Copies of this chain bind each other. A is one copy, B any other.
Amino acid sequence: MDIPRTPAGFDTAELAALLDGRWADVRARVREALAGTDLPPGDHLDTESHRALVLDQLHQLVKSGIPEIGFPAAQGGGGDTGGSVVSLEMLAGNLSLMVKAGVQWGLFGGAVQALGTERHHERYLPAIMSLELPGCFAMTETGHGSDVQHLRTTAVYDPDSEEFVVHTPHESARKEYIGNAARDGRMAVVFAQLITAGEGHGVHALMVPIRDESGAPLPGVRIEDCGRKAGLNGVDNGRLTFDRVRVPRENLLNRYGDVAADGTYSSPIGSSGKRFFTMLGTLIRGRVSVAGTAGSAAKLALEIALRYGSARRQFDRPGTDEETVVLDYLGHQRKLLPKLARAYALHFAQEQLVATLHEVQGSGDERAQRELESRAAGLKALTTWHATSTIQAAREACGGAGYLAENQLPQLKADTDVFTTFEGDNTVLLQLVAKGLLTNYKDQFDELGTVGMARFVADQFVGAVIERTAAKSLVQRLVDAVDRDDEESVFDRGWQVRLFDERERHVLDGLARRLRRATGDDADPFEVFNNAQDHVLRAARVHVERVVLEAFVEGIERCRDRDTALVLERLCDLFVLSAIEEDRGWFLEHERITPRRAKAVTEAVNGLCQALRPHAVDLVAAFGIPRQWLTAPIATGAEDERQRVQREHDRSQR
């Protein structure tokens, strides 16, 4: 099979600039700040020392000015939402630090910023930015992690004292996995069912002090330590239990719901369901940051594995007096290069997501906000799973060396593992995406539970709408240019995009039909929805994959150097075709491709791996991971040096 032209070289600076994208200045600033500091991950330390180190590093970050980027200008921040996300993801070489920073400034500070009003901003944000007030984001409970709408902590208003009484009724209701809780946090944003005058108004957030100046838990607050975790042991996760803890009325973060002195409740949003999801929606930045960081961690793992794979040799190469470089094996290429291609695709999609976040949040555009939430959920799920599988592949590709702590992969793997289930469990997130697609982002969807959803879909569904996110005219032009599928080359971008489009439309239409068919009067709506769960998850997945492809196509369009663009075109081919190969069961089952074409796709993936192999290291280096994060001896010269010495020795023996 002829693979379209792949240039022998390209402009690495042009590529690096393209990848740095809109927030290139923030990236440059973070790279510079990191180069001037010493922030080693400290994974070799015991838990207590590791936590102490990371807290100290957090203070160093304060000095760099990076944490302020996302805070309001009124409090001395940079007012740059997108920049704050980008800066966090650049800490991927020290994930305990990234997560602790995310807890302090993203979740804790972000909640005060998004859910509080001016009085909270003025009172708390400066101390949060400067780390004088280390805090917690206490939402998740032991019994309710995904279903936070039903968490059990209560905040009952007492008009006599004008205080809220925060209480944990039983063990399932204790706050669980709370970052900054076990050791450093002084204050917590606590999410609780707000009750006033005997009436519940749903989940609201309050500022609850948890430790005094000396670090001792305050009366009524029980703090436990979650202990060792798979990774992220520099973050002090803990459990919080409240025994009728009283806080002043003003501690309610009251942007979306307030309680007057006499106990009267008021809110700009009438429905309690809508209010809850609106509040959650303002906190979306955390999810976007996790996606970005997972993507960065995968890039770092790929850089380690590809650099080692380009140096490491094993088994004689027949007809030469050398051994074979392991990245020359097709099997090795197949382990890593499709994942490199996907890392690029996700990078461009993430850049797009961050830009949308930057523009939409606070704009008051509800429809755009819902779409943003769906995008964030979907991309977070796909990128964190990508990170898990990529770091695993990288570990295996490095053999025993990949198992040694000194080569970084163990810690990257352990630290990122929780990303697939925190800041939203991936499976739950994909269901959210699917429900959003089914209802075309109608306002109502957030308020419908599973039952309502199935009935709603049965009644009102009128066919999925494929919404183009980016490069609308470009992608549409590509699609329109395709005539008959089987005559186009598998490398035809129009054919590829159309295939992704059609898959999405078909899966969604089929799902809607299936749900509609199954919801008779005597059907159990839970059963109906549950029986289709695999279909639901697939709908979300193929939707997000289509969005990601379009972002990649748009990214290439911005490239101004011809050879660089050509290399990216091949990388995009590899992303698309390996995705089609992986899902060819579906395409064949639904007769969207012929068996002959399916085989051609596999052949094309092999050919693309071999064509891109010479560029592998340049392509992964272009991501510009800060150099201080790359410390693995196998990726920084030790293997090359050993090979050189062995070769010299072997020659001297002949």
Contact = CB atoms under 8 A, between A and B. Distances in A.
A331 to B, nearest CB: 4
Interface in A322-348: 323-324, 328-332, 334
Interface string A419-453: 01110011100000000000000000000011100
A18 to B, nearest CB: 31
B642 A534 contact: no
Nearest to A324: B526
Contacts of A362: none
A152 B646 contact: yes
Contacts of A422: 400
B150 A316 contact: yes
Contacts of A230: 395, 403-405, 409-410, 413-414
Interface in A543-600: 581, 583-585, 588-591, 595, 598-599
Which interface residue of A43, A388, A396, A599 has the most chain B CB atoms within 10 A?
A396
> Chain A: interface secondary structure?
helix
Interface string A162-187: 00000001111100110000000000
A142 interface: yes
B449 A316 contact: yes
Given A145-B399, A392-B388, A588-B595, A534 B229 contact: no
Interface residues of A, number: 91
A8 B422 CA distance: 37
A49 to B, nearest CB: 11
Given A404-B227, A421-B396, A589-B584, A533 B331 contact: yes
Oligomer copy total: 2
A81 interface: no
Given A526-B324, A531-B330, A646-B143, A417 B400 contact: no
A25 interface: no
Contact of A146 (B46, B229, B314, B646): B314
Contacts of A328: 530
A278 interface: no
A406 interface: yes
Contact of A229 (B169, B399, B405): B405
Interface string A497-540: 00000000000000000000000000011100011011001000
A319 interface: yes
Contacts of A170: 642, 645-646, 649
A472 interface: no
A360 to B, nearest CB: 28
A241 interface: no
Given A229-B403, A403-B421, A145 B314 contact: yes
Nearest to A607: B531
A230 B451 CA distance: 44
A226 interface: yes
Interface in A279-328: 314-319, 323-324, 328
Contact of A410 (B318, B414, B584, B649): B414
The 5 lowest CB-CB distance pairs between A and B, nearest first, are: A230-B410, A228-B405, A588-B588, A584-B585, A318-B451
6 contacts: A44-B227, A150-B316, A176-B400, A177-B400, A230-B414, A330-B533
Interface of A: 43-44, 46, 140, 142-147, 150, 152, 169-173, 176-177, 226-231, 314-319, 323-324, 328-332, 334, 388, 392, 395-396, 399-400, 402-406, 409-410, 413-414, 417-418, 420-422, 425-427, 449-451, 524-526, 530-531, 533-534, 537, 581, 583-585, 588-591, 595, 598-599, 602, 606, 642-643, 645-646, 649
Given A143-B642, A230-B404, A330-B534, 18 more contacts: A140-B400, A142-B642, A152-B646, A152-B649, A170-B645, A170-B646, A171-B642, A176-B400, A227-B404, A228-B404, A230-B395, A317-B526, A331-B427, A396-B420, A410-B417, A534-B602, A534-B606, A585-B588
